[in-house]
């Protein structure tokens, strides 16, 4: 049986306290990452650089992030990305379709990105689906989509590996 990870208390870490004050909520991902303060310090700017404004629409980034999170069954990442999905204009029906891996609701470019996200997540070699992206996206956009997939897989594995679950309020 795995031992529960002790999360860092924000009162013991000024940066963690600052991050949580800014978002006005506890962040179990950051509380776990705070065991490595240098990583915690550098992660938010990296995350923002990848998922923030760029050459790919926010909606597509969220769809891709969630496709990876559903493929990896990362409850924490799914839970934390649903509010952003709604803000990005993703409907409840579309969220169900992403989870069920049904692409027919989406336009061709989103379908291509979703297939790529799932294949790269599962195999780390998405050659055919990456080639299919070229019909819809520039090289810059393909790199950006790939960065979102890599980031999602990183956070999914971090949370799943440490058993960080949204519904428990702590690591399990």
pLDDT per residue rounded down to tens, the chain (172 residues): 455 899 999 999 999 999 999 988 899 999 999 999 999 999 999 999 999 999 999 999 999 999 999 999 999 999 999 999 999 999 999 999 999 999 999 999 999 999 999 999 999 999 889 999 999 999 999 999 999 999 999 999 999 999 999 855 444 4
pLDDT of residue 166: 87
Would 170 be classed as within a structural domain?
Answer: no
Q: What is the CATH number of the domain that holds 138?
A: 1.20.1290.10
Helices (H), 25-138: 28-33, 37-51, 58-71, 75-87, 92-100, 108-123, 127-133
Structure tokens at 166: 């949204």
How many domains, in total, are found in the chain?
2
- d(CA 69, CA 140) in angstroms, rounded, equals 23
pLDDT of residue 25: 87
Would 70 be classed as within a structural domain?
Answer: yes
Would 166 be classed as within a structural domain?
Answer: no
Closest C-alpha to 161, from 29, 40, 26, 9: 29
Same domain, 19 and 76: no
- d(CA 154, CA 157) in angstroms, rounded, equals 5
Structure tokens at 70: 């559903």
pLDDT of residue 108: 98
State the residue range of the domain holding 37. 10-51
Would 171 be classed as within a structural domain?
Answer: no
């Amino acid at each position: 049986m795995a031992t529960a990870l002790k999360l860092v208390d924000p009162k013991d870490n000024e940066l963690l306290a600052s991050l949580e004050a800014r978002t006005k909520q506890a962040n179990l991902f950051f509380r776990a990452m705070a065991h490595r303060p240098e990583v915690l310090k550098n992660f938010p700017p990296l995350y923002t650089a990848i998922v923030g404004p760029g050459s790919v629409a926010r909606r597509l980034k969220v769809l891709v992030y969630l496709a990876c999170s559903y493929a990896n069954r990362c409850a924490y990442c799914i839970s934390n990305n649903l509010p952003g999905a709604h803000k990005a204009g993703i409907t409840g029906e579309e969220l169900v379709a992403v989870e069920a891996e049904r692409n027919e609701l989406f336009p061709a470019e989103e379908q291509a990105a979703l297939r790529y996200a799932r294949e790269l997540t599962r195999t780390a070699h998405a050659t055919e689906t990456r080639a299919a992206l070229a019909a819809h996206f520039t090289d810059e956009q393909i790199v950006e989509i790939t960065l979102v997939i890599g980031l999602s897989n990183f956070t999914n594995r971090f949370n799943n590996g440490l058993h960080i679950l949204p519904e428990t309020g702590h690591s399990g």
